[in-house]
Amino acid sequence: MESVGPVTRRPRRDRCRDPGHRAGDEGDHCSVNTLSEAFEKLGADHAALALERLGAFNSHLPQGEAWSFDLHARTFTMGRTTIAIQVIGTFSAEHAAWVWAWDNASLQQFPEAIADAWRVREYGERYGIPEFVDRGVDLSGFADPRFGAEKLALIATAVLGAKGYAGVTTSGGFRAYLVSNDPAIPERGPRGPEHVSHYLRTAADWFPTANPMTLAAAYATGTGGRWMQVPGGLVVNLGEGSMTLHYREGRLDRVGPPVALV
């Protein structure tokens, strides 16, 4: 596969308009680590559940083992575990840019391996997500451009309904992103209080312009569960009993004991 080249630089603007956000806070990704308003909103709707599924995906693979992928067979192998994959895009650290697989000339000989990338583009066209439609996504405004690539891969995985993605650095020096919906991969991750807290805090860190309680409500809805706003937080039921999410100064503070939803 060929590496990505430079992409057109577009003026960036400060999208951090949430009065509750404090620049310089721990985990601050505001301004420099955000994409379009449409993408950030979409990400907030999907991030926590996508992170849960990604954790289950990573647990299925023997992390740290040797890996390889075969575009003819559309498979990714890590250690002794092989899963079905699709290539959605590549990231170049040199150019701080992402290029979708549907526009990578060296991948056109593998049309069945890039079908999901085309589906992401179609989603972007239908719902007005510019990052899913543009050939290249400029990530030079990110403090760590690779983090921008991870955000794109995570939310592309979510809209595809896939179970997770693997980002692997190739011999050519660029990073390929592979998504999978292999039936052998668990459908979901654990949903104990400590796990839910991790998903929600990480989602808020990745999408800092979103209201943290909105992230939590979207997560509960995505799991097929229910939620209810209460003073200082939310009560969520994810199908295995309920828990109370307590917020302080606009952040998730703690997860309390189960409370029955009325």
* pLDDT tens, position by position, 51-108: 999 999 999 999 999 999 999 999 999 999 999 999 999 999 999 999 999 999 999 9
Strand partners, 166: 178
pLDDT at 16: 35
- Asked if the structure places residue 10 within a domain, the reply is no
Residues 50 and 135 placed together within one structural domain of the fold:
yes
Contacts of 11 (CB under 8 A, 6+ apart): none
- Asked if the structure places residue 87 within a domain, the reply is yes
Residues 92 and 212 placed together within one structural domain of the fold:
no
- Asked if the structure places residue 19 within a domain, the reply is no
- Asked if the structure places residue 163 within a domain, the reply is yes
Residues 76 and 130 placed together within one structural domain of the fold:
yes
Q: Count each helix (H run) and each strand (E run) in the chain, helices first.
A: 6, 12
Residues 96 and 199 placed together within one structural domain of the fold:
no
Residues 175 and 197 placed together within one structural domain of the fold:
no
Residues 92 and 129 placed together within one structural domain of the fold:
yes
Of 146, 180, 214, which residue constitutes the final position of a domain?
180
Residues 136 and 213 placed together within one structural domain of the fold:
no
- Asked if the structure places residue 1 within a domain, the reply is no
Instruction: Choose among 34, 245, 23: nearest CA to 142.
Output: 34
Alpha carbon distance 60, 47 (integer Å): 20
pLDDT at 33: 84
Instruction: Choose among 257, 224, 261, 205: nearest CA to 245.
Output: 257
- Asked if the structure places residue 11 within a domain, the reply is no
pLDDT at 239: 81
| pLDDT for 198 beyond 90 | yes
Residues 218 and 100 placed together within one structural domain of the fold:
no
Of 154, 180, 206, which residue constitutes the final position of a domain?
180
| pLDDT for 164 beyond 50 | yes
Task: For residue range 218-236, list pLDDT tens digits in order.
Answer: 999 999 999 999 999 999 9
Residues 120 and 142 placed together within one structural domain of the fold:
yes
- Asked if the structure places residue 4 within a domain, the reply is no
Residues 247 and 163 placed together within one structural domain of the fold:
no
Task: For residue range 135-163, list pLDDT tens digits in order.
Answer: 999 999 999 999 999 999 999 999 999 99
- Asked if the structure places residue 79 within a domain, the reply is yes
Residues 172 and 199 placed together within one structural domain of the fold:
no
Residues 199 and 109 placed together within one structural domain of the fold:
no
Of 180, 212, 228, which residue constitutes the final position of a domain?
180
Number of domains in the chain: 2
**Residue 79 in tokens:** 């250690």
Q: Where in the sequence is the domain holding 139, given as residue range(s)?
A: 37-180
| pLDDT for 13 beyond 50 | no
Mark 125-149 as b/e (b = at least 16 C-beta within 10 Å): eeeebebbbbebbbbebbeebbebb
Task: For residue range 16-43, list pLDDT tens digits in order.
Answer: 333 232 222 333 444 458 999 999 999 9
Q: Which residue has the higher pLDDT, 110 or 30?
A: 110
- Kindly indicate the confidence band of residue 172, based on its pLDDT and cuts at 50, 70 and 90: confident
Q: What percent of the chain has pLDDT over 70?
A: 86
- Kindly indicate the confidence band of residue 241, based on its pLDDT and cuts at 50, 70 and 90: confident
